[in-house]
Amino acid sequence: MGFFNRRSTPVDANTATATGIPHEKPGIFSRRRHDAAPAASGTPAWNSRPTFGQWVKATALDIVTMAVMGAIGLGVYMADPAPSRSFPVSFQDGEIIYPEFAYPLRNEIVPIWAAALMASLIPIAVFLICQIRVRSFWDVNNATIGLLYALITAAVFQVFIKWLIGGLRPHFLTVCQPDIPTTGLQHGNGFRQIMYDRSICTGDRKKINDSLESMPSGHTTAAFAGFVFLYLYLNAKLKVFANYHPAMWKLIAIYAPILGACLIGGALTIDEFHNWYDILAGAVIGTLMAFSAYRMVYASVWDFRFNHIPLLRHTPFIYGAGPSTLDGFHDATFTRKAGWGTHDGSAWAGAPFDAADGPRGTMGQAAGVHGARNGHGTNGGIVGNGGRHSIERRPVNGSRYGEHMV
């Protein structure tokens, strides 16, 4: 081998996220062993349960932040609406100007407490069911913490908008029970004095306050925050949008939570608790918070190579070309099709979004070490052809010309 073709031996980086292959994966409730043997590349696997003290140390700030934000959100929710809106009631001949705000007050089909419980407990139940195969403490931890990120942040976001902006509910006039004087001085304002404020309302004060805070919908915000997060989680675990042709039931499974969120939001147009634009605003807020929260706790949202990998506090995840078996979470998926969940079933480069196609950092180096140790050498690793990046496509559970190629 010529002088200019020589490669130095890659150096292991102990700060990388589990860049080696674990010998045996512990169960979700197994204790972490500090004296465990290092993985193949010399770096211990991180997919094991920490001690309670370690978990508290890593999560304490989040718990305090959630408590503070929850208290702030509750305080704003209980406060009177900040603006004093003007609204029309009727013309002088008695014609109702805005009949869309004159619907009768009905019972909610899905109460807010039920929407919040479903948006939190159903995803958590799915997280636990998935542990039948995933068996990862950090997966349950990150999924649950991320779900709470989405729900709490979305709730605080929407209550501030309700408080400062708000809007009229479809049943506002029924709750307000306006008493417009027909004699004496006119109390209206605006053009032809047909606009009034809440001072003409004679109904229950709490119901009036609530009917002035229609936008955005809290039900829809909670539903989309929780169920969109679940949608992203199921997509990552089932690898629906990945490197193989999945079964149709997986497509149905990931969109079932979205259907649930749409049904909760749509029910608010039947019981006349919200206008359509309130529901749309809540859906946008909840979806935004779900995407943001998921990306905070998992390595990617859409990149199928990494979107099932929980991110850790104490060490960064290193992106790059190579099999995701090198991260310590190679089997943190529910599906086992196309080799997912096995050491050799991970995708090699080429996916869009978060991660680049070329190898970077210790994960790419470890992939080269892994390839060399499996007899591939330089040409079978990640670098070759005069120093250019090249990835060998290898068969999974079959011949090179089989269907499952990664």
Q: pLDDT digits over 83-112, tens only?
A: 777 777 766 666 667 777 878 888 888 888
Position 152 in a domain: yes
In this structure, the answer to whether residues 105 and 65 fall within a common structural domain is no
Q: The domain containing residue 87 runs over which residues?
A: 83-109+171-204
In this structure, the answer to whether residues 264 and 219 fall within a common structural domain is yes
Which of the residue ranges 28-37, 77-86, 128-137 would you say has the lowest mean pLDDT?
28-37
Position 58 in a domain: yes
In this structure, the answer to whether residues 284 and 156 fall within a common structural domain is yes
Position 361 in a domain: no
pLDDT of residue 92: 61
The domain tally of the chain equals 2
Position 16 in a domain: no
What residues does 388 pair with on adjacent strands?
Answer: 384
**Segment 343-351 mean pLDDT:** 56
In this structure, the answer to whether residues 216 and 234 fall within a common structural domain is yes
In this structure, the answer to whether residues 179 and 265 fall within a common structural domain is no
Is the pLDDT reported for residue 154 higher than 80?
yes
Quickly state the pLDDT bin for 320 (edges 50, 70, 90): low
In this structure, the answer to whether residues 187 and 295 fall within a common structural domain is no
Is the pLDDT reported for residue 4 higher than 50?
no
**Segment 327-347 mean pLDDT:** 74
Residues 164, 85: Cα–Cα separation, whole Å: 11
Is the pLDDT reported for residue 128 higher than 90?
yes
Q: How many helices (H) and strands (E) in the chain?
A: 10, 4
Position 130 in a domain: yes
Is the pLDDT reported for residue 178 higher than 70?
yes
**Segment 264-286 mean pLDDT:** 92
pLDDT of residue 58: 84
SS3 81: coil
pLDDT of residue 367: 42
Which of the residue ranges 141-145, 267-271, 344-348 would you say has the lowest mean pLDDT?
344-348
The CA-to-CA distance between both ends of the chain, in Å, stands at: 30
Position 133 in a domain: yes
In this structure, the answer to whether residues 90 and 122 fall within a common structural domain is no
Do the Cβ atoms of 25 and 47 come closer than 8 Å? yes
Position 135 in a domain: yes
Q: pLDDT digits over 292-303, tens only?
A: 999 999 988 988
Position 193 in a domain: yes
Q: Mean of the per-residue pLDDT values for the chain? A: 74
In this structure, the answer to whether residues 97 and 54 fall within a common structural domain is no
Note the pTM of the prediction, 2 decimals.
Answer: 0.74
Last residue of a domain, one of 296, 314, 332: 314
In this structure, the answer to whether residues 122 and 252 fall within a common structural domain is yes
Last residue of a domain, one of 181, 204, 227: 204
Amino acid type, 31: R
Quickly state the pLDDT bin for 345 (edges 50, 70, 90): low
Last residue of a domain, one of 314, 333, 358: 314
Residues 319, 203: Cα–Cα separation, whole Å: 60
> In Å, how far are 12, 18, 161, 349, 360 from 389, measured between CA atoms?
20, 23, 50, 11, 11
Which of the residue ranges 65-69, 283-287, 357-361 would you say has the lowest mean pLDDT?
357-361
Do the Cβ atoms of 336 and 343 come closer than 8 Å? no
Nearest Cα to Cα of residue 382 among 1, 4, 7 = 7
pLDDT of residue 177: 85
In this structure, the answer to whether residues 185 and 245 fall within a common structural domain is no
In this structure, the answer to whether residues 67 and 161 fall within a common structural domain is yes
In this structure, the answer to whether residues 186 and 286 fall within a common structural domain is no
